[in-house]
Chain A
Amino acid sequence: MRVIRDTGWMVMRQARNLMREPIWIALLLIQPMIWLLLYGQLFSRVPSLRGGASTYVEFLLPGIVVMNAFFGGTWAGMSMIADLDRNVVSRFLATPVSRLSIVLSQVIRAGLTASIQALVILLVGLVLGVRVHAGVGGWIVVLVMGALVAMVFAGVSNAIALLVRNEATMIAAANFVGLPLVFLSATLIQKSVMPDWMSNLSRFNPVNWGVEATRDVVVVGGQWGDVGLYTLLLLALTAVTSGFATWTFRMYQRSL
């Protein structure tokens, strides 16, 4: 299949380009650690925040995984804008390359990056004494959740990028949706201490779906039904947002 083959080449191109940016790699690895250590310290004295977890770091780790994935996804459209600005996209469009692969590769790259970050966070957590209660299966769920949350929002981000085609507007839009979605979730504190309206809204927040599933496997373990449901929801939403991004790509082509 042309789509799969071309998407593969496009993902490899992006991955290789990122590997060439040492500062980017450093930030990619250090940033989640800072969040884990900083927030871990900040809220560690407030036991009511951590739910059933034995330490706040254990409670926080799933949140940090998802928050990283979420922000990574939100910014994914920036590289689409760079490719548009630098005519890389027009060059590709004059070739028989699969149009879908141009958008999908951005989404998949965001997912892969988030998985790698999730692995780093899990390893740092291991050093800090965090055990994943669901075992090896739990580790896999954490990586998959990172990828899915990133992909859901990479779809949205690419769609915005293709509609606005401007970095400044893109940054404003990403910030606009970014923080509210993090705070409307159990990312940093457990649900029972949230105001009711927030806790109700959070049920429709895909960031929260990721947090719930990840926290299930890290803190509790064994609640595979819930985890399965959240996985399906996020998969479906990934399809929707990627579809939306593909549609905006057609709009962009029509504007040429």
Chain B
Amino acid sequence: MDAITVQELRKRYGEVQALDGVTFAVRDGEVFGLLGPNGAGKSTTVRVLTTLTKPDSGHALVAGHDVVRHPNRARNAIGYVPQDSGIDRHATGRENLMLQGRIYGMRGANLRSRVSELLELVGLADAADRVVGGYSGGMKRRLDIALGLVHRPKVLFLDEPTTGLDPEARVAMWVEVDRLARQESLTILLTTHYLEEADQLANRLAIVSRGRIVVEGTPDELKRGLQGELVTVELGETDGRILDAMRMVEQFPGARETTVDGRHVRTRVPNGAQAIPTLLASLDSAGIAVAAVTTARPSLDDVYLHYTGRDFAADDSEAVAA
């Protein structure tokens, strides 16, 4: 069964077509990642699925409920962790959770024990009765997630769960999300603009670019789909021979997408380990000095570049500047 079904969602804000026919499905129990640069349409998709905004057209079912026609049914089935923390800073962690539970109609001993259980689960039991204003960034984020879980939702939405966290807290959060997905038997949809995060957390992911899903699959499938490993040859003193080097690499059997960047020649070959000795020998016989050779399996970065024709980091910073 699918926990989330999204069909042809479109949404326009003034001049900007934020969603331009987004379609995907998330299976029950999986961690699904929406990966893309800032402004690609990830957060808008999440806002539609969490009933915060209505799409101009298209359909979305979450836990079997149509988010436009039966928003309250959908709301009862989902937990939402907004991009920037949505915590009440003047309240304690426990008070935040108690109010959240009450909104969902939970009461008395049932609510109190659920709140204590969650505080334990996200490692905030000791800080539970302190005002949130004094929490660290990581603690606030863990409380945010606990807030999304109070009513035992079937589907949890994590919008950029680690943006703004330091690297250490980010890794801790990954462990946390992974554990929660299993312990609470949740379906999780997370958005991120960190390739590494999608790679680490998501069972399957979709790459979003300019309001559309450009490709969907498991991280491994996507990388395998690219076929070939990246080989980077760094030349020593080039003496203007960089173009000679490039031509030699280009003519190597099976080499594709050969490019030059400064003293680096990059290419894709079916098998890097087999290619390197031959490649080095031919460069050497031509008298071209090689400083270093590296080979890498395709990363999600390469996947992104391949499917959108643009570099992920550049797209991301461009979106921030816009």
Q: Chain A residues in contact with chain B, CB under 8 A?
A: 6, 9, 13, 16-17, 20-21, 86-88, 90-97, 253, 256
Contact = CB atoms under 8 A, between A and B. Distances in A.
Contacts of B75: 94-96
A13 B103 contact: no
Contacts of B47: 256
B100 interface: yes
B99 A13 contact: yes
Contact of A95 (B53, B90, B100): B100
Given A95-B100, A96-B75, A87 B85 contact: yes
A9 B86 contact: no
Contact of A16 (B53, B91, B104): B91
B52 A90 contact: yes
A237 to B, nearest CB: 30
B89 interface: yes
Contacts of B147: 91
B91 A6 contact: no
B131 interface: yes
Nearest to A6: B103
Contact of B80 (A13, A86, A91): A91
Interface in B83-120: 83-91, 95, 99-100, 102-104
Contact of A86 (B86, B99, B102): B86
B76 interface: yes
User: Which 6 pairs across A and B sit closest by C-beta, in order of nearness?
Assistant: A91-B86, A94-B80, A17-B90, A87-B86, A256-B53, A94-B50
B72 interface: yes
A20 B90 contact: yes
Mostly, the A contact residues are helix
Given A86-B89, A96-B76, A9 B103 contact: yes
A87 B82 contact: yes
Nearest to B13: A255
B86 A88 contact: yes
A88 B87 contact: yes
B233 to A, nearest CB: 48
A86 B144 CA distance: 12
A20 B91 CA distance: 9
Given A9-B103, A96-B72, 7 more contacts: A17-B90, A17-B91, A87-B82, A87-B83, A91-B100, A94-B80, A95-B104
Contacts of A20: 90, 131
Given A9-B99, A9-B103, A17-B91, A94 B78 contact: yes
Contact of B82 (A6, A16, A91): A91
A92 B103 contact: yes
A87 B163 CA distance: 15
Contact of A9 (B80, B91, B102): B102
Nearest to A94: B80
B209 interface: no
27 contacts: A9-B99, A9-B102, A9-B103, A13-B91, A13-B99, A16-B91, A16-B95, A17-B88, A86-B84, A87-B83, A90-B52, A91-B82, A91-B87, A91-B100, A91-B147, A94-B50, A94-B51, A94-B78, A94-B80, A94-B82, A95-B100, A96-B72, A96-B75, A96-B76, A96-B104, A253-B52, A253-B53
Contacts of B84: 86-87
A92 to B, nearest CB: 7
Contacts of A16: 90-91, 95
A20 B132 CA distance: 12
A16 B50 CA distance: 28
A160 to B, nearest CB: 23
Contacts of A96: 72, 75-76, 103-104
A17 to B, nearest CB: 4
A86 B52 contact: no
Contacts of B90: 16-17, 20-21
Nearest to A19: B90
B103 A90 contact: no
